[in-house]
Amino acid sequence: MDYEKRKPRLNGKQTRNPPNLEVLILPFYQLCDLWYRKNAYLFIYYLIQFCGHSWIFTNMTVRFFSFGKDSMVDTFYAIGLVMRLCQSVSLLELLHIYVGIESNHLLPRFLQLTERIIILFVVITSQEEVQGKYVVCVLFIFWNLLDMVRYTYSMLSVIGISYAVLTWLSQTLWMPIYPLCVLAEAFAIYQSLPYFESFGTYSTKLPFDLSIYFPYVLKIYLMMLFIGMYFTYSHLYSERRDILGIFPIKKKKM
Protein backbone atom coordinates (compact mmCIF):
# COMPACT_ATOMS: atom_id res chain seq x y z
CA MET A 1 0.00 0.00 0.00
CA ASP A 2 1.07 3.56 -0.71
CA TYR A 3 1.01 5.22 2.69
CA GLU A 4 2.14 8.56 1.30
CA LYS A 5 -1.15 9.04 -0.59
CA ARG A 6 -3.27 8.32 2.43
CA LYS A 7 -4.91 11.44 3.95
CA PRO A 8 -4.55 11.99 7.67
CA ARG A 9 -7.56 10.93 9.70
CA LEU A 10 -8.66 11.90 13.17
CA ASN A 11 -10.73 9.37 15.12
CA GLY A 12 -11.56 7.57 11.91
CA LYS A 13 -12.83 10.79 10.18
CA GLN A 14 -11.19 12.84 7.52
CA THR A 15 -9.85 16.20 8.67
CA ARG A 16 -11.49 19.31 7.19
CA ASN A 17 -9.83 22.51 6.15
CA PRO A 18 -10.77 25.62 8.23
CA PRO A 19 -13.36 27.91 6.60
CA ASN A 20 -12.09 30.70 4.42
CA LEU A 21 -12.43 33.89 6.46
CA GLU A 22 -12.44 36.09 3.37
CA VAL A 23 -15.63 34.42 2.14
CA LEU A 24 -17.32 35.18 5.46
CA ILE A 25 -16.00 38.71 5.97
CA LEU A 26 -16.47 40.00 2.41
CA PRO A 27 -20.31 40.09 2.52
CA PHE A 28 -20.11 41.91 5.86
CA TYR A 29 -17.86 44.59 4.41
CA GLN A 30 -20.13 44.93 1.37
CA LEU A 31 -23.12 45.37 3.66
CA CYS A 32 -21.32 48.01 5.71
CA ASP A 33 -20.26 49.84 2.56
CA LEU A 34 -23.83 49.83 1.26
CA TRP A 35 -25.12 51.13 4.60
CA TYR A 36 -22.50 53.89 4.61
CA ARG A 37 -23.30 54.97 1.04
CA LYS A 38 -27.05 55.04 1.74
CA ASN A 39 -26.67 57.11 4.91
CA ALA A 40 -24.19 59.46 3.23
CA TYR A 41 -26.61 60.04 0.36
CA LEU A 42 -29.56 60.65 2.70
CA PHE A 43 -27.50 63.03 4.85
CA ILE A 44 -26.49 65.08 1.81
CA TYR A 45 -30.07 65.13 0.52
CA TYR A 46 -31.49 66.26 3.88
CA LEU A 47 -28.72 68.85 4.22
CA ILE A 48 -29.47 70.34 0.80
CA GLN A 49 -33.17 70.54 1.58
CA PHE A 50 -32.50 72.07 4.98
CA CYS A 51 -30.23 74.72 3.47
CA GLY A 52 -32.79 75.54 0.77
CA HIS A 53 -35.72 75.93 3.17
CA SER A 54 -33.59 77.78 5.72
CA TRP A 55 -32.55 80.26 3.04
CA ILE A 56 -36.18 80.79 2.04
CA PHE A 57 -37.34 81.32 5.63
CA THR A 58 -34.43 83.65 6.45
CA ASN A 59 -35.01 85.65 3.27
CA MET A 60 -38.71 86.04 4.06
CA THR A 61 -37.97 87.11 7.64
CA VAL A 62 -35.38 89.70 6.65
CA ARG A 63 -37.60 91.09 3.91
CA PHE A 64 -40.56 91.38 6.28
CA PHE A 65 -38.58 93.33 8.89
CA SER A 66 -37.09 95.51 6.16
CA PHE A 67 -40.16 96.27 4.03
CA GLY A 68 -43.10 95.29 6.21
CA LYS A 69 -46.33 94.17 4.55
CA ASP A 70 -45.03 95.21 1.13
CA SER A 71 -42.67 92.24 1.20
CA MET A 72 -45.62 89.82 1.38
CA VAL A 73 -46.93 90.92 -1.99
CA ASP A 74 -43.79 90.03 -3.95
CA THR A 75 -42.86 86.92 -1.94
CA PHE A 76 -43.28 84.65 -4.94
CA TYR A 77 -41.14 86.85 -7.17
CA ALA A 78 -38.33 86.90 -4.62
CA ILE A 79 -38.17 83.24 -3.57
CA GLY A 80 -40.54 81.40 -5.89
CA LEU A 81 -37.75 79.87 -7.96
CA VAL A 82 -35.96 78.36 -4.94
CA MET A 83 -39.26 77.12 -3.53
CA ARG A 84 -40.15 75.39 -6.79
CA LEU A 85 -36.69 73.84 -6.92
CA CYS A 86 -36.95 72.48 -3.35
CA GLN A 87 -40.43 71.07 -3.91
CA SER A 88 -39.39 69.46 -7.20
CA VAL A 89 -36.38 67.79 -5.56
CA SER A 90 -38.62 66.53 -2.74
CA LEU A 91 -40.29 64.17 -5.23
CA LEU A 92 -37.17 62.02 -4.81
CA GLU A 93 -38.57 61.04 -1.43
CA LEU A 94 -41.19 58.91 -3.17
CA LEU A 95 -38.38 57.04 -4.88
CA HIS A 96 -36.54 56.71 -1.57
CA ILE A 97 -39.56 55.05 0.03
CA TYR A 98 -40.25 52.85 -2.98
CA VAL A 99 -36.73 51.37 -3.16
CA GLY A 100 -36.45 51.09 0.64
CA ILE A 101 -33.81 53.75 1.27
CA GLU A 102 -36.16 55.70 3.52
CA SER A 103 -38.50 53.99 5.96
CA ASN A 104 -41.88 55.64 5.58
CA HIS A 105 -45.32 54.95 4.16
CA LEU A 106 -45.67 55.80 0.49
CA LEU A 107 -49.32 56.92 0.27
CA PRO A 108 -49.30 59.58 3.04
CA ARG A 109 -46.08 61.08 1.73
CA PHE A 110 -47.48 61.00 -1.80
CA LEU A 111 -50.57 62.94 -0.66
CA GLN A 112 -48.46 65.56 1.11
CA LEU A 113 -46.18 66.10 -1.88
CA THR A 114 -48.97 66.22 -4.46
CA GLU A 115 -50.79 68.83 -2.38
CA ARG A 116 -47.81 71.15 -2.58
CA ILE A 117 -46.98 70.42 -6.22
CA ILE A 118 -50.55 71.10 -7.36
CA ILE A 119 -50.90 74.29 -5.32
CA LEU A 120 -47.45 75.64 -6.20
CA PHE A 121 -47.18 74.75 -9.89
CA VAL A 122 -50.80 74.52 -11.05
CA VAL A 123 -52.59 77.14 -8.95
CA ILE A 124 -49.95 79.76 -8.07
CA THR A 125 -47.34 79.60 -10.85
CA SER A 126 -49.90 79.52 -13.68
CA GLN A 127 -51.80 82.60 -12.44
CA GLU A 128 -49.76 85.77 -12.06
CA GLU A 129 -52.63 87.48 -10.25
CA VAL A 130 -52.54 84.84 -7.49
CA GLN A 131 -48.79 85.21 -6.98
CA GLY A 132 -49.26 88.60 -5.29
CA LYS A 133 -51.82 87.39 -2.74
CA TYR A 134 -51.01 87.32 0.96
CA VAL A 135 -51.97 83.64 1.12
CA VAL A 136 -48.84 82.75 -0.88
CA CYS A 137 -46.61 84.25 1.81
CA VAL A 138 -48.57 82.46 4.54
CA LEU A 139 -48.26 79.14 2.72
CA PHE A 140 -44.52 79.53 2.24
CA ILE A 141 -44.05 80.30 5.94
CA PHE A 142 -46.00 77.20 7.01
CA TRP A 143 -44.25 74.91 4.51
CA ASN A 144 -40.79 76.10 5.48
CA LEU A 145 -41.41 75.87 9.22
CA LEU A 146 -42.43 72.24 8.87
CA ASP A 147 -39.62 71.34 6.49
CA MET A 148 -36.83 73.00 8.43
CA VAL A 149 -37.69 71.01 11.55
CA ARG A 150 -38.37 67.78 9.65
CA TYR A 151 -35.17 67.84 7.62
CA THR A 152 -33.08 68.77 10.67
CA TYR A 153 -34.49 65.81 12.59
CA SER A 154 -34.02 63.43 9.65
CA MET A 155 -30.48 64.65 8.94
CA LEU A 156 -29.34 64.10 12.52
CA SER A 157 -31.13 60.75 12.78
CA VAL A 158 -29.15 59.43 9.82
CA ILE A 159 -25.86 59.96 11.66
CA GLY A 160 -27.23 58.61 14.93
CA ILE A 161 -27.75 61.91 16.76
CA SER A 162 -30.98 62.34 18.67
CA TYR A 163 -32.27 65.17 20.84
CA ALA A 164 -35.44 64.72 22.85
CA VAL A 165 -36.58 68.30 22.27
CA LEU A 166 -36.03 68.09 18.51
CA THR A 167 -37.78 64.72 18.33
CA TRP A 168 -40.77 66.08 20.22
CA LEU A 169 -40.85 69.22 18.08
CA SER A 170 -40.68 67.30 14.78
CA GLN A 171 -43.55 65.06 15.90
CA THR A 172 -45.68 67.86 17.37
CA LEU A 173 -45.22 71.00 15.28
CA TRP A 174 -47.29 69.61 12.40
CA MET A 175 -50.36 69.17 14.61
CA PRO A 176 -51.40 72.86 14.55
CA ILE A 177 -49.60 73.86 11.35
CA TYR A 178 -50.64 71.10 8.92
CA PRO A 179 -54.41 71.88 9.19
CA LEU A 180 -53.58 75.56 8.74
CA CYS A 181 -51.59 74.62 5.62
CA VAL A 182 -54.58 72.81 4.17
CA LEU A 183 -56.87 75.76 4.95
CA ALA A 184 -54.41 78.14 3.27
CA GLU A 185 -54.15 75.83 0.25
CA ALA A 186 -57.96 75.70 0.01
CA PHE A 187 -58.12 79.50 0.24
CA ALA A 188 -55.51 79.81 -2.52
CA ILE A 189 -57.64 77.58 -4.76
CA TYR A 190 -60.73 79.64 -3.92
CA GLN A 191 -58.96 82.89 -4.81
CA SER A 192 -57.68 81.43 -8.09
CA LEU A 193 -61.07 80.24 -9.37
CA PRO A 194 -62.15 83.60 -10.90
CA TYR A 195 -58.89 83.82 -12.86
CA PHE A 196 -59.18 80.26 -14.17
CA GLU A 197 -62.76 81.03 -15.20
CA SER A 198 -61.91 84.28 -16.99
CA PHE A 199 -58.68 83.19 -18.67
CA GLY A 200 -59.66 79.60 -19.38
CA THR A 201 -56.30 78.22 -18.23
CA TYR A 202 -56.07 74.43 -18.60
CA SER A 203 -59.66 74.28 -19.89
CA THR A 204 -59.66 72.30 -23.13
CA LYS A 205 -62.16 70.99 -25.66
CA LEU A 206 -62.17 67.29 -26.46
CA PRO A 207 -63.60 65.39 -29.43
CA PHE A 208 -67.29 64.42 -29.54
CA ASP A 209 -68.41 67.74 -28.02
CA LEU A 210 -66.66 67.06 -24.74
CA SER A 211 -64.63 69.56 -22.78
CA ILE A 212 -62.68 69.93 -19.55
CA TYR A 213 -63.64 72.99 -17.54
CA PHE A 214 -60.71 73.32 -15.15
CA PRO A 215 -62.51 75.32 -12.41
CA TYR A 216 -64.76 72.28 -11.91
CA VAL A 217 -61.65 70.12 -11.57
CA LEU A 218 -60.32 72.48 -8.89
CA LYS A 219 -63.63 72.40 -7.01
CA ILE A 220 -63.54 68.59 -6.98
CA TYR A 221 -59.93 68.66 -5.81
CA LEU A 222 -60.92 71.14 -3.10
CA MET A 223 -63.19 68.52 -1.55
CA MET A 224 -60.58 65.80 -1.95
CA LEU A 225 -58.06 68.04 -0.20
CA PHE A 226 -59.88 67.76 3.13
CA ILE A 227 -60.39 64.01 2.72
CA GLY A 228 -56.65 63.62 2.16
CA MET A 229 -55.97 65.84 5.17
CA TYR A 230 -57.95 63.48 7.43
CA PHE A 231 -56.06 60.45 6.14
CA THR A 232 -52.65 62.13 6.42
CA TYR A 233 -53.41 63.57 9.86
CA SER A 234 -54.44 60.12 11.14
CA HIS A 235 -51.24 58.58 9.81
CA LEU A 236 -49.01 61.31 11.27
CA TYR A 237 -50.69 61.02 14.65
CA SER A 238 -50.22 57.25 14.66
CA GLU A 239 -46.56 57.75 13.74
CA ARG A 240 -46.17 60.32 16.51
CA ARG A 241 -47.67 57.92 19.04
CA ASP A 242 -45.25 55.18 18.03
CA ILE A 243 -42.18 57.42 18.14
CA LEU A 244 -42.92 59.30 21.34
CA GLY A 245 -44.60 56.38 23.07
CA ILE A 246 -47.67 58.42 23.91
CA PHE A 247 -50.52 56.07 24.79
CA PRO A 248 -53.71 56.73 26.70
CA ILE A 249 -53.14 56.21 30.42
CA LYS A 250 -55.72 54.11 32.15
CA LYS A 251 -56.53 54.89 35.73
CA LYS A 252 -56.00 52.11 38.20
CA LYS A 253 -59.06 50.76 39.96
CA MET A 254 -59.12 51.46 43.67
Residues recognised as catalytic: 178, 185
Give the β-pairing of 210-212 and 204-206: antiparallel
Distance CA 148, CA 153 (A): 9
Helical spans, DSSP H, in the chain: 21-67, 70-73, 75-89, 92-99, 106-117, 128-131, 134-158, 164-172, 174-199, 214-244
Burial (CB count <10 Å: 0-12, 13-18, 19+), residue 118: middle
Distance CA 36, CA 31 (A): 9
Q: Which of 147, 233, 139, 145 is nearest to 186 (CA)?
A: 139
